[in-house]
Chains A and B, each alone.
Chain A
Amino acid sequence: MDQEGYLYNIALFPLSFTFIIVETMNSLKHNQAVDELNSSDPAVRVKALRFIKNNIIGNKTKKDLYIQLDVIPKLVKFFKSKDTTDSQVQIQAAIVLGSFAYGGEENVTEIVKHDAIKPLLECISLKNDPRLIEAAARALKAIYKCPTADKNDIFADYHLRDLITLLNPDALHPKIDRERIASVHTAELAATIIARCCDTNEQQIQIASAGAFPALVNLLTCGFSKAQEAALDALAYLCRENPEFGKAIVETKSETSDSPVKIMLNLIQDKSPTMRLIAAKCLTHLSRANAIGEYSNDITLIVLPTLVKLLDEKGPVREEAPHVLAYLIRDNEELQKAACDSDAVPKLADFVTHVVDQESSYYDPVGDGDKLKENALMALAAISSLTDDGRKLVVEAKIIPHIVAAMSHRSYGIRAAACQCTRSLSRSINILRTSLVDAGIATPLFKLLSDESTDVQTTACATLCNLVLDFSPMKKTIMELGGIEKLVELVRSPDNTLRLNAIWALKNLVYQAESDVKEAVMKVLTYQTMETLISDQEIVEVQEQALNLLRNLACTKQIDIEEVFQGLGEDRLMNIIENKLCWWHENEEIIKQVLFVINNIATGNERHKSAIMNRPTILTRILNYMGHTNPEIRVIAVWVLINLLWTEDKSASMYLNILNIIIMRFLLYDLIFFNLNFIKAHKFEFKNYVIWDLKIK
């Protein structure tokens, strides 16, 4: 027995030993390859680079291994050498770097950490070997796909100029077919890099100034689909939210003197779904930039249906189509109606309800389930944003329970999109009182006000604006959860949109609210804070909402008006009003709110009315506004007058004061009577307080 067992073990020993030996030899090989990068012999270095390249292609484990072996800084070092005989080394090094960059965000971060971008940008200079340019451009394309990569370096020196020159496949003087194909490929890479570096308006301006438009428009007609797709993409991002550039692109003539829009309308019918998608995207951005108004029929009859049909495709095309669709129909009632009439809603709803949650993969060709869900939710939010028909369709698709579930999804994009969807639906009082309250949406939504992502907080807050309205059955729930405290906390946020949404929600909350609710809000917010918001230094819209809040507070009941007088103090209150009336007369929304504040105060008791009367500046301004070009403002000014004059005690001194102002100021005498006659002619009756619609003809 002993002897047999011993033999058995002896037999196994070489097998496991061989295994260990082989593995060790392999890792020795990798170590050796990295070491050989230091060799002074360029041939050795090239061989090592080729070895590494062959090992890491399509192999994430090997990529990670080599990164552990600290290969990246060694690669970057090759570009810092001025030795021209190293061009073959540089080419291989660039190819290897590119391969790493295609392996995911972590790899890109590692590459960027070792300052690889600047040297790679140097490589695309035209004086270099075209193969080096191509390899470096490919690496940069992958690097710039990562949203956290710094894009500032590209705007320094002549890199932009080089990129734009490369957009022309003839720039590198290709002589044989192989070179020509490589040139077109380089042009494609250059266009993609440009597309990925247009994040801000400033960047758009710089790229355009370098002469991007004519070069890109020419690339549209080169006949090579990948390059055409890249050119479309770049043009799309250059005109995004940019009316001036939209027009400029439309007016750029290609070498074949075709109009770019006509070319795009052609490409949108291409057999490749990717081409159709990108052409649709480009036309969408142009349309949103108001650059192709005369093509609105094509937008409705070609672009929109194309996007809806692309929902039947697979992979990245299917994921991006809803995103483009959402952008196309944004704030456009006609297009939203057209989308409702198509079968977009059931398809999008399907994505929301049936896409299985998976570990999302950055470069997974099969597709990103999270992105699909997020974009589908955004598209549904867009379809239901302006019309009741759209909202009904979305409710009938039975996705509300999925929206609620999406509010606790691990992806912040999905959480934000779920809020947007809810926001659109909450614009219907009917749906607020039925489907939304039935789904118990208030609690999960409220939780998102404390989300780690500001984007999510902002969209949740926007939705909450509608849920705290008087007719919403969820108002009570939200207040019980601590809504007032939370909103006041958010109103102090440095983020402009979040702050605006928070003050908007507070304004809606006190609309027609009971006195104790108003008191509760102001106890937490404080009149001091409200005053600061009324003179918000960042955005005027916050000032407008804060004034609207004041208007809603000093309203309906005399004790409410008195509360405002007590809380703010008569002097401060009147100073705010005077300031706004005098110095903000160019902003009609501000003026409207201030006049309504005065109007509401004027419905108070004698003390409230005299507070206004004792300020001749304010009175003069009000009387002036009775002659304003905007009829809405004229009407409110007249209402102020009515309310000030309406008193039981006609002998009261303040009543005589205002009559004095009216009668003695001849300049304004005509104005008052002009308005009174105008009003009489439109059947106005003081007693019944009925005002005819004072619209300008």
Chain B
Amino acid sequence: MPVFSNPVISATTSTINNNSLPDKCMCVDGVCRDPSHKHYAEQQKKQQEQLRQQQLLQKRKRRLSLTTEISSVRLLPTTTCSLYSGSKFRGEQRSGRSSYDVSVHIQHVDLSESFLCGYLHIRGLTEDYPELTTFFEAEIIGRKYSFLTKKWDADDKVDIQHWTRFQAFRPLKSHMKKDGFVYDFHNKDFIFMRWKEHFLVPDHRVRTINGASFAGFYYICYQLSTGIITGFYYHKNSDRFQELKLHHCADNNSFPSFEFR
């Protein structure tokens, strides 16, 4: 199968082909504005070369100043499948016989740090707060975070109880406690995470709400091929196995982007 590193120009298309370009030039004042003319092509190439030379010269002359720069790596956005900034999921959280509408809006994904974060929005959880939104941060299970939580009042027994509720986890169960076992989430259909809510949005200073709490965390399993998220909320004082089930909301396929500086 052909794979090119530089795009090939088909001979049958009408424009940008040096052999069949018109010689008649419409240059004004030595500057060519006709993209189909060869002068324009030369001009563009020359401009790029000039840019390169200029940058090299500037670099040579520039004072090697360290005083104002502390970081020059790019923090380019990372995504996988439906996990990207702006991605939305919708579904519900079931607790016993009650169920609440839930929507999740992912804000930032950083796979190299095994991290993502977003807003979790629940409807109808309490009478006082028909709409509740929290900000959560995720630990993606992989090289950085192990299946064993070791915090948030969840011991190994609790971990196994919850992870095994995911079908996708069962083949991994026997490996889980082995030393040096790492689940590499790259190129797998399932991604496991823990989601921890940290504060309420918009006012992060509100610490308690009557009848609701975000002191626990979610065990999460996300499947790339279906865009479905399942999860179980855990807190030592809460009802067990409140289930979260979300599916990815198709957006209109237009992709804006931001980047931290």
Q: What chain A residues lie within 8 Å of B202 (beta carbons)? A: 473
Stretch at the interface among B58-66, B145-153, B213-221, B232-240: B58-66
Stretch at the interface among B67-75, B95-103, B166-174: B67-75
Interface centre among B66, B199, B254 (most CB of A within 10 A): B254
Does A185 sit within 8 A of B, measured CB to CB? Answer: no
Determine if B260 and A617 form an interchain contact, defined as CB atoms under 8 angstroms apart: no
**Chain B 187-204 interface 0/1 with A at a Cβ cutoff of 8 Å (1 = within):** 100000000001101101
Stretch at the interface among B11-19, B120-128, B175-183: B11-19
Determine if A693 and B260 form an interchain contact, defined as CB atoms under 8 angstroms apart: no
Nearest-CB distance from B256 to chain A (Å)?
4
Q: A552-B257, A600-B256 are contacts. A434–B81 as well, Cβ < 8 Å?
A: no
Nearest-CB distance from B248 to chain A (Å)?
7
Does A564 sit within 8 A of B, measured CB to CB? Answer: no
Does A125 sit within 8 A of B, measured CB to CB? Answer: no
Determine if A617 and B67 form an interchain contact, defined as CB atoms under 8 angstroms apart: no
Q: A331-B71, A387-B113, A691-B81 are contacts. A241–B1 as well, Cβ < 8 Å?
A: no
Does B89 sit within 8 A of A, measured CB to CB? Answer: no
**Chain B 2-23 interface 0/1 with A at a Cβ cutoff of 8 Å (1 = within):** 1111111110111110000000
Determine if B7 and A624 form an interchain contact, defined as CB atoms under 8 angstroms apart: yes
Interface centre among A540, A667, A674, A690 (most CB of B within 10 A): A690
Does B29 sit within 8 A of A, measured CB to CB? Answer: no
Determine if A501 and B261 form an interchain contact, defined as CB atoms under 8 angstroms apart: yes
Determine if B70 and A378 form an interchain contact, defined as CB atoms under 8 angstroms apart: yes
Rounded to whole angstroms, the CA-CA distance of A642 and B253 in the bound complex is 9
Which chain B residues (78-121) contact chain A, with CB distance < 8 Å? 80-82, 86, 107-108, 113, 115, 117
Interface magnitude class on chain A: 35 or more
Nearest-CB distance from B168 to chain A (Å)?
15
Q: A693-B81, A693-B224 are contacts. A579–B254 as well, Cβ < 8 Å?
A: no
Nearest-CB distance from A468 to chain B (Å)?
9
For the residues of A in contact with B, the DSSP-based class is helix
Interface centre among B59, B61, B248, B258 (most CB of A within 10 A): B258
Q: What chain B residues lie within 8 Å of A306 (beta carbons)? A: none
Determine if B258 and A469 form an interchain contact, defined as CB atoms under 8 angstroms apart: yes
**Chain A 371-410 interface 0/1 with B at a Cβ cutoff of 8 Å (1 = within):** 0000000100110011110000000000000000000000
Does A625 sit within 8 A of B, measured CB to CB? Answer: yes
Q: What chain A residues lie within 8 Å of B82 (beta carbons)? A: 690
Does A575 sit within 8 A of B, measured CB to CB? Answer: yes
Nearest-CB distance from A202 to chain B (Å)?
5
Determine if B5 and A629 form an interchain contact, defined as CB atoms under 8 angstroms apart: yes
Does B54 sit within 8 A of A, measured CB to CB? Answer: yes
Determine if B257 and A511 form an interchain contact, defined as CB atoms under 8 angstroms apart: yes
Q: What chain A residues lie within 8 Å of B51 (beta carbons)? A: 537-540
Determine if A413 and B67 form an interchain contact, defined as CB atoms under 8 angstroms apart: yes
Does A353 sit within 8 A of B, measured CB to CB? Answer: no
Chain A, residue nearest B188 (CB): A693
Does A470 sit within 8 A of B, measured CB to CB? Answer: yes
Which chain A residues (552-586) contact chain B, with CB distance < 8 Å? 552, 555-556, 575, 578-579, 582-586
Nearest-CB distance from A691 to chain B (Å)?
7
Does A168 sit within 8 A of B, measured CB to CB? Answer: no
Which chain A residues (293-342) contact chain B, with CB distance < 8 Å? 323, 326-327, 330-331
Q: A555-B254, A690-B227, A691-B81 are contacts. A617–B2 as well, Cβ < 8 Å?
A: no
Chain B, residue nearest A687 (CB): B250
Determine if A327 and B66 form an interchain contact, defined as CB atoms under 8 angstroms apart: yes
Determine if A695 and B248 form an interchain contact, defined as CB atoms under 8 angstroms apart: no
Rounded to whole angstroms, the CA-CA distance of A413 and B59 in the bound complex is 23
Rounded to whole angstroms, the CA-CA distance of A537 and B225 in the bound complex is 44
Chain B, residue nearest A625 (CB): B7
Q: A429-B135, A455-B67, A695-B186 are contacts. A639–B5 as well, Cβ < 8 Å?
A: no
Nearest-CB distance from A519 to chain B (Å)?
16
Determine if A420 and B10 form an interchain contact, defined as CB atoms under 8 angstroms apart: no
Q: What chain A residues lie within 8 Å of B186 (beta carbons)? A: 693, 695
Does A603 sit within 8 A of B, measured CB to CB? Answer: yes
Chain B, residue nearest A616 (CB): B13
Contact of A388 among B6, B13, B115, B135 (CB under 8 A): B115
Does B137 sit within 8 A of A, measured CB to CB? Answer: yes
**Chain A 246-266 interface 0/1 with B at a Cβ cutoff of 8 Å (1 = within):** 000000000000000000000
Does B41 sit within 8 A of A, measured CB to CB? Answer: yes
Rounded to whole angstroms, the CA-CA distance of A538 and B47 in the bound complex is 10
Rounded to whole angstroms, the CA-CA distance of A198 and B108 in the bound complex is 42
Does A525 sit within 8 A of B, measured CB to CB? Answer: no
Q: What chain B residues lie within 8 Å of A429 (beta carbons)? A: 107-108, 117, 135
Rounded to whole angstroms, the CA-CA distance of A667 and B2 in the bound complex is 10
Which chain A residues (583-618) contact chain B, with CB distance < 8 Å? 583-586, 596, 599-600, 603, 616-617
Determine if B71 and A616 form an interchain contact, defined as CB atoms under 8 angstroms apart: no
Nearest-CB distance from A514 to chain B (Å)?
13
Q: A690-B225, A690-B248 are contacts. A199–B113 as well, Cβ < 8 Å?
A: no
Q: A331-B72, A627-B4 are contacts. A689–B254 as well, Cβ < 8 Å?
A: no
Determine if B15 and A616 form an interchain contact, defined as CB atoms under 8 angstroms apart: yes
Contact of B253 among A423, A537, A689, A693 (CB under 8 A): A689
Q: What chain B residues lie within 8 Å of A208 (beta carbons)? A: none
Contact of A575 among B35, B117, B204, B258 (CB under 8 A): B35
Q: What chain B residues lie within 8 Å of A201 (beta carbons)? A: 59-62, 64
Knowing that A201-B60, A596-B255 touch, tell me 7 more A-B residue pairs with CB under 8 angstroms.
A200-B62, A200-B63, A434-B204, A617-B16, A620-B9, A643-B254, A692-B225
Enumerate chain B interface residues (CB-CB to A < 8 A): 1-10, 12-16, 35, 41, 44-45, 47-48, 51, 54-55, 59-64, 66-73, 75, 80-82, 86, 107-108, 113, 115, 117, 135, 137, 186-187, 198-199, 201-202, 204, 224-227, 248, 250, 252-261
Selected A-B contacts with CB under 8 Å, 13 pairs: A387-B113, A424-B71, A429-B135, A433-B135, A458-B68, A462-B261, A537-B47, A551-B255, A555-B254, A556-B254, A599-B255, A620-B10, A671-B2
6 closest A-B pairs by beta carbon, nearest first, are A624-B7, A465-B261, A511-B258, A583-B44, A600-B254, A552-B256
Enumerate chain A interface residues (CB-CB to B < 8 A): 198-202, 240-241, 323, 326-327, 330-331, 378, 381-382, 385-388, 413, 416, 420, 423-424, 426-427, 429-430, 433-434, 455, 458-459, 462-463, 465-466, 469-471, 473, 501, 504-505, 507-508, 510-512, 537-540, 548, 551-552, 555-556, 575, 578-579, 582-586, 596, 599-600, 603, 616-617, 620-621, 624-625, 627-629, 639, 642-643, 646, 665, 667-668, 670-671, 674, 683, 688-693, 695
